[in-house]
Every structure is written in structure tokens, then in C-alpha cells.
A and B are shown apart, each in its own frame.
Chain A
């Protein structure tokens, strides 16, 4: 396998497995400790399953105190800890460390408190994203961030990754919807970050920790902001015979002062795969399909939908459909929501990328992607959070064919490089994890990476929390030989590339 190896800035020399096992038994009940190979197997990977590694041990604490005890022990003995929610992450962020302990937070899965009047709730990290909205829906509230894995993914993981979802153009990312967290620091101490108010004194540690991929601390409790369920929501589907027209249509909607609750685009291959899979009613001949959802008061939505309809028409939409009720709305969304498994049906394997670009770069990026597709001989399908420029190219390959995985990886890496060059970023919502360490060398200059390491040092001087992820060492970047793209400009821009 060609997958990049871990990036360890320090060498660990943890105690032997037996010593760790007996130490853990002092700290946790027997049923919270896993040591056998067959028990550890399920933890060997997260949603990016091409990376696999067994930890020395896994622990499943039932209380915050137990988490603290394990972390304190690891701090004293300099043992790496990898925190994990439900392992749905797509960048290898929860990949175990071969010399470390995997910390499964799944048993801390209680909703501790729901405060309807304050529109907030306090949850443990192992609570599933969707379970929060399910619990408060009877009171007319919901939790806005909705990553597509929301049935399974946990709040702790969402905070670690700063997860988004299809509604984040209007309602923000996790960082905009978390008010307070309790964090176990690298030395086992418990810190409360943020507050029950709209801000907290001093530095914005809450923003710094959100999206830090488990490198700065372990979230053991979170207070989430809840929003009133919009009175009304409608989705409009528009099909186009050209992706450029679809891209322009998105710009037209936003320029008209409308912020859709969701604005998704799919390309020809994704449309076909989704339609064959769930029969959402998408026109399969279309080159691009837009789903534009508006929510709010009934008047607002109805006004908005007729405005969007007119804009789509003049942008050249070939088919237009508006949901008349929630059933039709769900059906129109079903295709988009099933896009990934739909691609899974037409290819033995696929590799999901996650870059963000300024939307006006879309035509350029898509046509470049077609060239790369031809170059590598691999098909690519695109689903796109069009409102906020977050692109998810799915590279189709067959891992059983020799060399295809490597080609897919190289293709993916080229796409990310292209995103940086287009003025975007290598990850919009999936995180860097293990997967994009090399690409980080392109996006950030050495001094910037050093600054990240200094931040890590400020929180975790022994580097025990999820070591080797998210931020590459300068040594690694030197070996990778990445070209740092400075302010969107490559060195020697006249040289032909690819």
C-alpha cells in the first residue's frame, strides 16, 4: 500500500503492553479495557479504511473521571492517545497509534440536560449528532450542523473536525453552534472553555479547539446551541445542460441577496448514479443539477422560491421542479443524500476528496479535473456544496487492480493541489488527519507549520494527544518535496505541470 505513513515528531518508548494492561486495570473496570487482537480489530481504522493500524490497547471509559485517569497515566508515561467517536471520519484522524491507546468515547453517550428556554443542551461527546435534533424536535428546536454521517457521527467527533453539512452556508459550522465545552487537557486536568453566554473572557479557545482534530484536548462535554425549526422549507431542483451555467446560477441566487439553507450541485456522473439508485426524479441527461433549499417563515420561503425560480430560468435551466410538500422535498434530497453509496454501486471502490474553492473557479477546476481523469484513466464524479465552494470529487477505482489505488491517491492529491492554486483549501470539512499531511506542506509555509506546532506545544508539551496527525513536521515536508503555493502562485508559474 502506498498510503503515507504516520508523522511522528517525537519517538515514543511506551511501557510494554503487559505493563500498560496492568496499569489500566488500576484505573478502569475490566469491561472498559480491550487488549486482544480480535477485540481491537474494529478500531483499526475510521471511515478512511485504506489506513489500518492496531493500537496497543483500547479503553472505553464510562465517566469523565475515568477519561482523566487514563490521560493522566498516558501523560506520565508518554503514551500516545487517539480519541475516537464513532469512527466515521474520512481523513484517518482516528487511526490508532501502534504504540498508543485508543480512547473510545462512545460510552459517554448521554444527553445531560436540555434547556428549552435557553435553547441549548448539554451533551456527552458520544451522543450522535442526529440524536440531539431528535431529542429536541418535540419542542420545536434542532441542532443545525448536519454532516451527512449524522445518523452515526458523534458530537465529540464533530467538534474535533469542525464538521459542516449541507446547511452550513446559512447556519454555520460546528464552531458557530457550540457554546461551551469541557476539555480534558493533556495532563488530565479538566478545563471549561467557552460559556453559557455568547462569549467568554480572554482568547477564543473554543474556536481554537474546535477543529483541532483531537490534538489539543479531549472533549468530554459540550453545550450546543439549538435553533427553532423553521416554519417552512421548500427545495427547488434545477437541471442544466452545462456546469458553467449551473455555477453561474448559484452566483445569481447569492447576488440577489438570497442565502439558501442548502445549495447542492451534482455533476452528470453523480446524477446518473443517484437516479439509478433511488429514483429521485433527476433528469439523467443533465450535465449539472442544483438543489436549492430555502427555509424560514412561509412568506419568506414562498417569495424566495419564486425569485430563485426566475433566476434559474434566466440562467438557462432545462428542467425545474419545486417541492410541494415534505414528502416531495425528501424525495428530491434522497438522491443527493445517497450520492456516495450510489457511486459505490458503479465502482468497486471510490476515494472521496474534500477541497474548497472560490465558486467562480468551478468551471476551471472541473475542466481541469476531466483532464486529470483522462490522464489517470480513472472516472470522477462530483458532488458539491455549491453555496460555500466545498467540492467532493469521488474518484472511482478498483483496489484489486494493481496500481489503481496509488493512481487514485495521486489523482486526489493533484486535485487538492489544484484547489490551493485556485485560491481554496485542501479540506473544507473532512480534516487533515493522516490523509492530507503532505498537502499541508503545500498550503502552509514552514513558519506557519511551526506556529501550529507551537500551539500544540502550548496544550500538549509531551505530544501524547493524537500525535503525528493534522500538522506535518517540517522534516516530512522536506522529504515530500512539496512546493508551497505562495498566495496562490506557484514558484516558476510558466513551467508546465502535470
Chain B
């Protein structure tokens, strides 16, 4: 089943403009917990606009419509022994490509391969004026025009409704080996960073519950010899472990308390933002914790180390959930919002109150 609904989606945006009735863009609704609560009930669902448009394994490129289920894309790539190297979390069965890109979420491989934004080559969008526009392309190197496609990545639909996305894809590694080690948090962070500074085929790291988990990916000989050098203990059902980490299904995530995501320089010493332990991944650059400290205190703590904090799950969705922007940056956001969506009809307030 594959369907191009560009015209229908465009009509919806034009109607919204005419009636001054902002839209709420929804794909598989798997990431509805992210960001602020939508202010509008005028839902546009992108799932009707779906299907892989082109896939050239030899060119390492794939183009698909935004409503295409992520599962479908991953299945096709697996058939050709390729993958989305940013290892996107699904956070639900119906996850779509559009939602994945709009949220710029990446999984355990992120620090070693790149984020969703790093693999976006081009997009076709509908801006807030109802214009269908194409940026970037289907080739890996392209510097014609501003990089609007990467700007769309992570903009949560506030700058444009994503119609199609072209991505760079990569071969699946021949072998993956996971090992675990006993560590204290501070030592684990130092060890993750020490590994990243060496020529080793590391593809994921996570510290959780007193153990440091390490995944090696690459050729059989390279991963085996690295594993031998590094030691550690084998992990039972390692693929499951990394999927559970990616999907937040590890026991760590079982709580209804406010879940914070900290994004910070990987070498930062352990932070004390909570009585409860943190889960540390991405070589120390992404840390999860349940904390009841006041948001302002957490923001300040993260800013002091050059990072930022997001209220990821179980927030009220009414106050700001993303890290406050500096005034000069906020102004650029407002100006850009105005450049793409002058009437403020695309997911207003979804990311920040003012955009």
C-alpha cells in the first residue's frame, strides 16, 4: 500500500490558513508524550501519505513519504543488509518516518554513527503558507541552498509538514558483540570516553545499575579482536538489551515520575540531580533521570556544564518542557517560525510556547 496524498495534505493546510484554524500534525501518534500539549484539535494525519518512493542500496539512499511506518522501512533495509544508522527509537508500534524526523530522535548508535539529522539528505515539505517545497536532494553531497532539510529535523512540525524524506542509509555491520563490566558511575564515564578516543569499533555504550555495557560492531575479525583486548563479560540476549534501552523498556524506565533527558558533554562527571541513580548512555552525552528538583535548578545545573535538559516523559505539557533558549537564539527561532509559518498554524506551541 503506497499513496501520494500531497494534494490532500496541501488542501488541509490551505483550509487551516483560510479559517485561521491551526493544525496538529500527527503520524503514528507514538511520540505524543514529547513536547507541549497541542493547542489545536484540527488533526492532520500523515499516515495516509505513505510508501517508499525510491531505494537505491548501491547509492546508500532511500526516499519515503512521511506516513511510511518506520517498521516497513527497517524491514526493507534489512532485506538488503542495510540499516538506519541512527537507530531510531519507535516508542510505539505505529511510528512513522515523518514523526521520527520531526522529533530527531536517535538511539544507542548516535554518538558513533550520527543523529537522525546527520542522515537527512533532503525533504519535501508544505510550509505554513501551503506551498509544497523541496530542499536538499537524494545525493550525499549537496550544498545548493540553505540546509532547510536539517532545519526541519527536530522542528516538531512547527516549520513545515514533512511530506517526503531522503535519507542516507548504511550497511549493517557483519557482527555485533556486547560485553559488560562492573564499574562505578564516574569510572564508567571515564572509560566510555577513553574507548571513544581509540581506534575501536565501538557502536554503543550504556551505564546502568552498576554495569557498563559496550557494543562493538564491524567485521568479524575486528570485533572479536577488540572484544578480546577489552575483556568484560558476555551479555545474555544482547540485541534485546539495546532494543530495550532504545525503546525505554528497561526496568529503569518503569516509573510515572517526571523523566528528564540530560544532553551534555560526555566527559562531565556524574551529576547529582536526583536521589535515584541515572542511566548514562551515548558515551556519557545522554543521561536519564527521574527528578523532582525544580526545573530552573536542573536547567542551571546543566547550563553550568554546557548541556541542556528536557522534560521527556510524565510532564504536564503545559509549561515549557524544553530547555529555555537564550534571548538572542529565541529571537532567531521566532524569526524563522515567521519565515516558514507566518500565520502560526503549524503545530503552534508544540515545541516552545512562542513558536
The answer to the question of A285 belonging to the interface, with a C-beta cut-off of 8 Å to chain B, is no
B40 at the interface (CB under 8 A from A): no
Chain A 105-119 residues near chain B, CB threshold 8 A: 115-119
Produce 1/0 per residue, A279-321, CB < 8 A to B: 0000000000000000011011011100000000000000000
Chain B minimum-CB-distance residue to A385 = B141
Q: Which of B92-106 contact A (CB under 8 A)?
A: 104
A168 interfacial by beta-carbon distance below 8 Å:
yes
**Which stretch in B9-17, B23-31, B190-198, B230-238 binds the other chain?**
B190-198
Contact digits for B342-355, partner A, Cβ 8 Å, 1 yes 0 no: 00000000011000
A210 touching B147 in the complex, CB below 8 Å, given contacts A192-B326, A199-B115, A201-B322? yes
Contact string, B86-123, partner A, CB cutoff 8 A, digits 1/0? 00000000000000000010000011001101100000
Q: Are A211 and B143 in contact (CB under 8 A)?
A: yes
Distance (Å) between the CB of B146 and the closest chain A CB?
5
**Measured between alpha carbons, how far is A179 from B29 in the docked complex, in Å?**
31
Q: How distant is A98 from chain B, measured CB to nearest CB, in Å?
A: 25
A377 sits at the interface (CB 8 A): no
Query: Contacts A191-B332, A198-B282, A356-B141: A297 and B222 contacting too (C-beta < 8 A)?
Result: yes
Q: Is the CB of B199 within 8 A of A297?
A: yes
Contacts of A212 in B (CB 8 A): 146-147
Per the bound structure, the CA–CA distance linking A19 and B31 in Å amounts to 58
Select which of A117, A201, A208 is within 8 A of B150 by beta carbon.
A208
Stretch at the interface among B70-78, B169-177, B250-258, B289-297: B169-177
Nearest Cβ on chain B to A318's Cβ, whole angstroms = 22
A357 within 8 A of B: yes
Given A204-B150, A296-B199, A424-B137, A356 and B142 touching (CB < 8 A)?
Answer: yes
* A417-435 contacts to B (CB < 8 Å): 423-432
Q: What is the CA–CA distance of A386 and B277 in the complex, to the nearest angstrom? A: 48
Count residues of A near B (Cβ-Cβ below 8 Å).
Answer: 95
- B153 CB–A CB distance under 8 Å: yes
Is there an interface contact between B264 and A257, defined as CB atoms closer than 8 Å? no
Which of B104, B138, B308, B322 meets A197, CB within 8 Å?
Answer: B308
Asked whether any CB of chain A lies closer than 8 Å to the CB of B249, the reply is no
B301 at the interface (CB under 8 A from A): no
Q: Are A231 and B199 in contact (CB under 8 A)?
A: yes
Task: Flag if A196 contacts B307 (CB, 8 Å).
Answer: yes
Chain B stretch 261-316: residues in CB contact (< 8 A) with chain A: 263-267, 282, 285-286, 306-308, 310
Residue in A168, A169, A203, A230 with the greatest tally of chain B CB atoms within 10 Å: A203
Give Cα A333 to B11, complex, Å: 54
Provide the residues of chain B in CB contact with A258, threshold 8 Å: 171
Chain A nearest CB from B68 CB (Å) reads 18
| Complex-state Cα separation, A356 to B220, whole angstroms | 34
Nearest to B158 among chain A residues (CB) is: A203
Q: Is A464 an interface residue (CB 8 A)?
A: no
Give residues 430-469 of A contacting B (CB, 8 Å).
Answer: 430-432, 436, 440, 443-445, 447-448, 451-452, 454-455, 457-459
Closest Cβ of chain B to A286, distance in Å, is 23
Chain B residues in 8 Å Cβ range of A231: 199
- Measured CB to CB, the closest approach of chain B to A497, in angstroms, equals 21
Q: How far is the CA of A389 from the CA of B58 in the complex (A)?
A: 11
In the assembled complex, B148 has its CB within 8 A of some CB on chain A? yes
Residues on the B chain within 8 Å of A452, using CB? 145-146, 148
Establish whether residues B145 and A444, one from each chain, have CB atoms under 8 Å apart when the complex forms.
yes
Q: How far is the CB of B306 from chain A (nearest CB, A)?
A: 4
* Cα distance, A385 to B111, chains bound together (Å): 26
Q: Are B57 and A255 in contact (CB under 8 A)?
A: yes
Contact A195 B150 (CB under 8 A): no
Q: How far is the CB of B169 from chain A (nearest CB, A)?
A: 11
* B209 in contact (CB, < 8 A): no
Asked if A3 is at the interface of the complex by the 8 Å CB criterion, the answer is: no
Is B201 in contact with chain A by the CB < 8 A criterion?
Answer: yes
Bound Cα distance from A251 to B143, whole angstroms: 23
Residue on A with the closest CB to B125? Answer: A451
Q: Is B338 interfacial (CB 8 A cutoff)?
A: yes
Q: Is B133 part of the binding interface, using a Cβ–Cβ cutoff of 8 Å?
A: yes
User: Does the CB pair A161–B143 fall under 8 Å?
Assistant: yes
Smallest Cβ-Cβ distance to B310: which chain A residue: A201
Most chain A CB inside 10 Å of its own CB: which residue of B81, B147, B340: B147
* B161 contacts chain A at the CB level, 8 A cutoff: no
| A164–B141 touching, CB < 8 Å | yes
- Report the minimum CB–CB distance from B202 to chain A (whole Å): 10
> Quick check: A451 and B133 within 8 Å, CB to CB?
yes
Task: Answer yes or no: A339 CB below 8 A from chain B CBs.
Answer: no
B interface residues, how many (CB within 8 angstroms): 86
* Contact A360–B59 (Cβ < 8 Å): yes
Which B residues are in CB contact (< 8 Å) with A190? 328
Instruction: Name A175's contact: one of B150, B226, B282 (CB within 8 Å).
Output: B150
List of B residues within 8 angstroms of A425 by Cβ: 137, 139, 141-144
A208 to B199, CA, bound (A): 31
Tell whether A162 pairs with B339 under 8 Å between CB atoms, given A204-B154, A428-B141.
no
B329 touches A229 (CB 8 A): no
* B164 → A minimal CB distance (Å): 11
CB distance from A310 to the nearest CB of B (A): 15
**Bound CA span A182–B103, Å:** 25
Q: B44 at the A/B interface (Cβ < 8 Å)?
A: no
Query: B127 near A: Cβ within 8 Å?
Result: yes
Question: Is A175 in contact with B147, judged by CB distance below 8 angstroms?
Answer: yes
- Cβ-based interface call for B19 (8 A): no
Chain A: CB-nearest residue to B127: A451
Knowing A198-B285, A231-B199, A425-B137, say if A451 contacts B104 (CB, 8 Å).
Answer: no
Partner of B336, one of A115, A196, A203, A304: A203
Whether A360 contacts B266 by the Cβ 8 Å rule is: no
**Is B329 a contact of A202 with CB atoms below 8 Å?**
yes
Task: Tell me whether A207 and B150 are in contact (CB under 8 A).
Answer: yes
Q: Is the Cβ of B219 less than 8 Å from the Cβ of A299?
A: yes
Q: How far in angstroms is the closest Cβ of chain B from A100?
A: 21
Asked if A390 CB lies within 8 Å of chain B CBs, one says yes
Tell me whether B265 and A197 are in contact (CB under 8 A). Answer: yes
Residues of B within 8 A of A444 (CB): 134, 144-145
Report whether A458 and B155 are in contact in the complex, using a CB–CB cutoff of 8 Å: no
Whether a CB of chain B sits under 8 angstroms from the CB of A374 is no
In this complex, the member of A193, A254, A385 whose beta carbon has the largest number of chain B beta carbons within 10 angstroms is A254
A390 touches B141 (CB 8 A): yes
B308 CB to nearest chain A CB (Å) = 5
Chain A residues contacting B352 (CB-CB under 8 Å) are 202
Distance (whole angstroms) from the CB of B10 to the closest CB of chain A = 12
Measured CB to CB, the closest approach of chain A to B283, in angstroms, equals: 9
Which 8 residue pairs are nearest across A and B when measured between Cβ atoms? A257-B171, A207-B150, A458-B335, A300-B222, A299-B221, A454-B339, A428-B141, A196-B306
A residues bordering B, Cβ < 8 Å? 115-119, 140-141, 161-162, 164, 168-169, 172-173, 175-176, 185, 189-193, 195-205, 207-208, 210-212, 216, 228-232, 251, 254-259, 296-297, 299-300, 302-304, 356-360, 385, 387-390, 423-432, 436, 440, 443-445, 447-448, 451-452, 454-455, 457-459, 470-471, 487
8 interchain pairs (CB within 8 A)? A175-B147, A197-B285, A201-B310, A208-B147, A228-B198, A300-B201, A356-B139, A452-B145
